[in-house]
Amino acid sequence: MKKDIHPKYQKVTVRCTTCGNEFESGSILSQVTVDTCSNCHPFFTGKQKHAQADGRIERFNKRYGIKSENV
């Protein structure tokens, strides 16, 4: 078997370009940057905007003459 054919796995500092947060991880690259991290991503921060489906449902019901009663 050949020796030393795999790249060197090392600890690197990962930097977020959005918020500047830094954390350590392992990689074969010398430096790693990410666009968003768990510190600034809307899903993790709780600032995620949900689609406004309520208005669409009401428009559908109005268009097809469906009364909004409890089903």
Q: Which of 11, 37, 36, 15 is nearest to 25 (CA)?
A: 11
**What pLDDT does 68 receive?**
62
Domain ranges of the chain: 1-43
Enter the pTM of the model.
0.53
**Ordered mean pLDDT values, 10 residues apiece, the chain (71 residues):** 89 92 93 89 74 73 75 50
Domain 1-43 has CATH 2.102.10.10: no
The answer to whether 12 and 32 have CB atoms below 8 angstroms apart is yes
